[in-house]
């Protein structure tokens, strides 16, 4: 038998070589299409290729400001600006320092201002920097704050729970972080 007959007598080997050749050809064609598509869409290019973009452009985020109304006033925690236009005697930077100190306080609000005897009183609030803390609910009784039978875990710097009171009349509640000694503002709810 000649060498040509041996090669043609092995159809499995011939089929495998043909399969590999077709796979390589299809892979090259698909790779070329993907490369052209990526260039047309601008995928993988630096930000300088964007129309009209510069290196100094960025998102403009407004400065937080106080809101009108009652309840907790939540603002985003931000660092002091490091731009060149902020002066040392800038009154706005002094106000930001004062607000930062106030933002560290626990803020509490009640969902209701008046409820019936032993009805649900929703308490919620914000504790910046208090992630993972356990807050103790307290009620003002006989001229002093007394622990109420409720604790609240802080998650994502927020907390919420509800309490029920059978003490008819004006009830004042607050929460306190016994680990740090930080206490919230008191909230007043009329029961009865």
Range of the domain at 127: 107-191
In a domain, 14, yes or no: yes
In a domain, 143, yes or no: yes
Q: What is the pLDDT of residues 82-138, one digit of tens each?
A: 554 444 455 555 555 454 555 568 999 999 999 999 999 999 999 998 888 999 999
- Looking at 12-164, which runs of residues are DSSP E strands? 107-110, 114-115, 120-126, 134-141, 144-153, 158-164
In a domain, 72, yes or no: no
Q: What is the pLDDT of residues 11-31, one digit of tens each?
A: 888 899 999 999 999 999 999
In a domain, 184, yes or no: yes
Q: What is the pLDDT of residues 139-175, one digit of tens each?
A: 999 999 999 888 999 999 999 999 999 899 999 999 9
Task: Please report, for the domain that includes residue 137, its CATH number.
Answer: 2.60.40.10
CA torsion sign for 140, 144, 145, 149 is negative
Number of domains in the chain: 2
Q: Is the pTM of this model over 0.75?
A: no
């Amino acid at each position: 038998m000649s060498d040509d007959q041996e090669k043609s007598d092995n159809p499995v080997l011939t089929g495998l070589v043909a399969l590999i050749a077709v796979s390589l050809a299809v892979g090259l064609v698909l790779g070329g299409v993907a490369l052209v598509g990526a260039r047309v869409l601008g995928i993988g290019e630096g930000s300088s290729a964007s129309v009209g973009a510069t290196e100094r452009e960025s998102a403009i985020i407004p400065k937080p400001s106080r809101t009108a109304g009652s309840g907790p006033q939540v603002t985003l925690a931000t660092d002091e600006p490091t731009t060149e236009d902020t002066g040392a005697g800038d009154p706005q930077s002094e106000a930001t320092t004062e607000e930062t100190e106030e933002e560290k306080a626990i803020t509490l609000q009640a969902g209701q201002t008046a409820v019936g005897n032993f009805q649900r009183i929703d308490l919620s609030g914000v504790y910046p920097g208090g992630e993972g803390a356990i807050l103790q609910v307290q009620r003002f009784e006989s001229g002093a704050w007394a622990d109420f039978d409720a604790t609240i875990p802080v998650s994502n710097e927020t907390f919420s729970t509800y309490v029920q009171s059978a003490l008819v009349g004006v009830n004042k509640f607050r929460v306190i972080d016994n680990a740090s000694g930080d206490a919230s503002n008191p909230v007043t709810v009329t029961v009865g």
